[in-house]
Structure 1
Amino acid sequence: MKFLRYGEAGAEKPGILDDEGRLRDLSGVIDDLSGEVLGELGTLSSEGLPVVEGNPRIGPCVGNIGKLVCIGLNYSDHAAEAGMDAPPEPIVFMKATSAIVGPNDRVMIPRGSEKTDWEVELGVVIGKTAKYVSQEEALDCVAGYCVVNDVSERAFQTERAGQWTKGKSCDTFGPVGPWLVTPDEVGDPQDLALSLRLNGEVMQQGRTDKMIFPVAHIISYLSQMMSLQPGDVIATGTPPGVGMGMEPPRFLVKGDVMELTVEGLGTQRQEVGAE
């Protein structure tokens, strides 16, 4: 099943796509796609729900995200592109939840930025608490999957003292959605294609089978250090083709348009503005 949230920013309602691709309103059944509800998505159905007319704004597919945990250098071909060895353990950083926006909302280049970059990623939505789980148990904790754009300001990230988080957390740097797709529909999360186009030109293409640390490993690894709660989202890394890896490097400018797709999870489209 495909779930989403629609409406104005801060006032989104939960929805579900029916078999014909029509958006139906779930707000009479659940308050939001957040928290404990995410562990019970299999009990919901689109049957008999009112159809939403028109083309409303699509918001982040998860409400009240508790934490957005990101994994760096998790594709072998992206690590090679960056001129770095594959890490011996997952590289973990956090993206501020204030960066989260809808999948088609405008991405804003922050003041002083000259190196804002793109990263298409598979997002994993946690549906039930994961603490000290094994890799064999890990996928049972997943509510579904989504597309994430891990927008990054490379100078903030790597050329200024401190951690990567400062280059990852600018406002609008976390488009999430359009859909939360349940595991039964996704199938094997290690067999999905990812792509990103910039102004119609393919920048990134990859497959999740190139992950150094697959989804089950990441969930288990993180759960040894922090509990993962329903509504947390994990961004699992990006394939090659980011701007900083090009010769010469290429970065976003006002007026650019990014289009990101993960197989079976829908497409994001963001126009780039500037603060």
Structure 2
Amino acid sequence: MRTGRVAWMGGIHECSPHGEGSIRLADGRIVPEAEVVWLPPFEARTIFALALNFADHAAELASKSSKEQAGFLQAQHAEPIVFLKAANSLVGHRGLTRRPRDAEFMHYECELAVVIGREGKRIPRDKAMEHVAGYTVANDYAIRNFLEPYYRPNLRVKSRDGGTVLGPWLVSADEVPDPMSLALKTTVNGTVVQEGNTRDMIHDVPALIEYLSAFMTLGVGDVILTGTPKGSVNVNAGDEVVCEVEGVGRLVNTLAEDWPVSA
């Protein structure tokens, strides 16, 4: 099953796919996609994100960073590097993400997002997948020159308004029998710039659920962004970025100029 959320005619509606270019609202009405504003496909509670969960991406960033930062990026980690994101960072399918005026290198991060559907604490690895409601696609933008001077990742990159795109669909877990064997792909203006596979994660989905639930209760609506493979290319205002996760969906987003300065 695939479900989404949209704003249309002054209300927020749950929806499902319905043929090319249209969606079906929960009340049965068929609406053209062009008439709706897409929202994240579920109401997120806690947003967890993984840093450096693909070894090839860590090596790629090290090659583009200062000597000090490169040493950190190349370090092997025995446990996941996890940080939290604020809800204001989320934007839906076909939404806009602003590129800061002083960004020197801003790049997409195509990720599999795991959505928790059953509360749990101290969940063992062999029971972890029983707590997964489903999956969606995430694009969690990063701005390298904002990250470089600080212990990464820092607040003004990873919780900035609209910096994380989510959707379009929440795909139920039964439709994704093996989340650890899914192809990831990103295109910018139609050109493929990033490819990878979830099997290359350092810490897989069951391990992440076991780790997080060991010290905090996971609840319905929590979402885990599981990291991104190599393939970082600078993006600019006007670029269309499409992130795809095999069997989960195709997430479209456009870069825009920074917010105007308030008078």
TM-score bucket (shorter structure): 0.7 to 0.9
> Could you say which residue in structure 2 is the equivalent of 1:124?
114
> Could you say which residue in structure 1 is the equivalent of 2:30?
52
Tell me, in whole angstroms, the C-alpha distance in 1 between the residues paired with 2:153 and 2:250: 30
CA contact (8 A) 1:93 1:165 kept: no
User: 1:129 is paired with a residue of what secondary structure?
Assistant: coil
Instruction: Please report how far the alpha carbon of residue 163 of structure 1 lies from its aligned counterpart in structure 2 after TM superposition.
Output: 4.5
CA contact (8 A) 1:155 1:167 kept: no
Tell me if 1:69 matches 2:52: no
Tell me, in whole angstroms, the C-alpha distance in 2 between the residues paired with 1:10 and 1:163: 37
Tell me if 1:96 matches 2:86: yes
**Structure 1, residues 174-197: CA drift from partner, whole Å, max 9, x if none?**
111000001111110001000001
CA contact (8 A) 1:124 1:234 kept: yes
Tell me, in whole angstroms, the C-alpha distance in 2 between the residues paired with 1:154 and 1:8: 36
Tell me, in whole angstroms, the C-alpha distance in 2 between the residues paired with 1:201 and 1:86: 32
**Structure 1, residues 206-252: CA drift from partner, whole Å, max 9, x if none?**
01000111001001101112211111111000011023xxxxxxx22
TM-score by length of 2: 0.86
Tell me if 1:177 matches 2:160: no
CA contact (8 A) 2:23 2:32 kept: no
User: 1:212 is paired with a residue of what secondary structure?
Assistant: coil
For residue 52 of structure 1, what is the amino acid of its counterpart?
I
User: 2:49 is paired with a residue of what secondary structure?
Assistant: strand
Tell me, in whole angstroms, the C-alpha distance in 2 between the residues paired with 1:20 and 1:152: 32
**Superposed counterparts of 1:167-246, under 5 Å:** 167-243=157-233
Aligned residues: 245
User: 2:148 is paired with a residue of what secondary structure?
Assistant: helix
Of 242, 245, 249, which aligns to 1:262?
A: 245
CA contact (8 A) 1:157 1:168 kept: no
CA contact (8 A) 1:142 1:183 kept: yes
User: 1:7 is paired with a residue of what secondary structure?
Assistant: strand
TM-score by length of 1: 0.83
Structure whose residues are more often strand by fraction: 2
Instruction: Give the alignment's Cα RMSD to 1 decimal.
Output: 2.1
Structure-2 change in CA distance of 1:166 and 1:8 (3 Å): farther
CA contact (8 A) 1:190 1:208 kept: yes
User: 1:110 is paired with a residue of what secondary structure?
Assistant: coil
Tell me if 1:112 matches 2:91: no
Instruction: Please report how far the alpha carbon of residue 23 of structure 1 lies from its aligned counterpart in structure 2 after TM superposition.
Output: 2.8
Tell me, in whole angstroms, the C-alpha distance in 1 between the residues paired with 2:9 and 2:159: 18
Structure-2 change in CA distance of 1:18 and 1:141 (3 Å): farther
For residue 203 of structure 1, what is the amino acid of its counterpart?
V
Counting aligned pairs with the same residue, the percent is 37
Tell me, in whole angstroms, the C-alpha distance in 1 between the residues paired with 2:212 and 2:96: 31
> Could you say which residue in structure 2 is the equivalent of 1:40?
none
Structure-2 change in CA distance of 1:162 and 1:91 (3 Å): closer
**Structure 1, residues 98-118: CA drift from partner, whole Å, max 9, x if none?**
010002101111343222211
User: 1:145 is paired with a residue of what secondary structure?
Assistant: strand
Tell me, in whole angstroms, the C-alpha distance in 1 between the residues paired with 2:10 and 2:78: 40
> Could you say which residue in structure 2 is the equivalent of 1:82?
61
> Could you say which residue in structure 1 is the equivalent of 2:13?
13
> Could you say which residue in structure 1 is the equivalent of 2:126?
136
**Structure 1, residues 29-85: CA drift from partner, whole Å, max 9, x if none?**
xxxxxxxxxxxxxxxxxxxxx13222223211112x112100111112222323314
CA contact (8 A) 1:73 1:86 kept: no
